[in-house]
Amino acid sequence: MVWGTPEYIRAMHVVGTLPLRLLAADYGADITYGEEIIDHKFVKCERRVNEHIGSTDFIEKGTENVVFRTCNEERNRVVFQIGTSDAVRALTAAQMVCKDVAAIDINMGCPKSFSISGGMGAALLTKPELIHDILTTLKRNLDTPVTCKIRLLKSSQDTVELARRIEKTGVSALAVHGRRVADRPRDPAKWSEIADVVAALSIPVIANGDIFEYDDFQCIKDATGASSVMVARGALWNASIFSPEGKVSQEDSILWDNDIKSTKHTLKEMIMHYSSLELPEGKAVIKSESLADLA
């Protein structure tokens, strides 16, 4: 995989499941990231080929719980995203799935409390030695490309310094979300600080933050000089954001044949963006317990 080539990338914690990834790809996303999966959970899984629907499933042992699902159609463009705080455990998880995906990504940007309390996600930003250990361990033992995603640090200089250390580990690309850990989604992404990282590195940098319309792709590329653009909420609200022909209606972009938790989360986000959860359709989604209820 040449990481300087893909322009449009879709990534989202929790809802990056197979149906949404395939939908985003159909509309034009070059690369799609799976939902962040914690290494503790994944190492307890077993790989099964699901001939009924043509997928490769990683099932939690002793259950029928699908932790990660992929298929041959996305083999060359899906990135497996790991939440980890341990190099050996991350490698074990990566080795289980690396033949089924295009790349392995370490999430170092998630600000959620469950990630930070476990030493994962954005908690890694303050542990450069651990970052180095995780990434170099993966690079030494995998033929599959390795990438990671970070957030901005306290100052642009700090972010650039960390990015340079990450580059030295040999990763194929670095994604930078233009907000700090304490920032909220309503706070504007700091594209200028992503540009500082781009200017300092020789590897591809993927810019992320405040991409809500198709025209925003070129805007952030022009502003940052990044080789690629990553979309999260914009793709969650309407996966057709990747289409140069313009977005389709909200109803036409809704996905089915998905697990109930992910589908509910997606629909709630879409409804909150376009209207309100206090409306009848919002209350119905909140109360739903199965895909049949949502239909």
Q: Give catalytic residues, as residue numbers.
A: 110
Q: Is 218 annotated as a binding residue?
A: no
Residue 54 exposed, middle or buried by CB count within 10 Å (0-12, 13-18, 19+): exposed
Is 265 marked as a binding-site residue? no
d(C-alpha 138, C-alpha 141), whole Å: 5
Q: What is the DSSP letter of 162?
A: H
Any bridge partners for residue 106, and if so which?
A: 82, 148
Greatest Cα pair distance in the chain: 53
d(Cα 241, Cα 235) in Å, to the nearest integer?
A: 6
Contact 150, 176 (CB under 8 A): yes
- The answer to whether 13 is annotated as binding is no
C-alpha distance from residue 227 to each of 22, 199, 219, 243 (Å)? 23, 11, 12, 19
Q: Are 227 and 197 in contact (CB under 8 A)?
A: no
The reply to whether 179 sits in an annotated binding site is no
**Residues whose CB is less than 8 angstroms from the CB of residue 82 and which lie 6 or more positions away in sequence, other chains included:** 36, 37, 38, 39, 42, 90, 93, 94, 104, 105, 106, 107
Name the binding residues for FMN: 81, 149, 177, 232-233
Name the binding residues: 81, 149, 177, 232-233
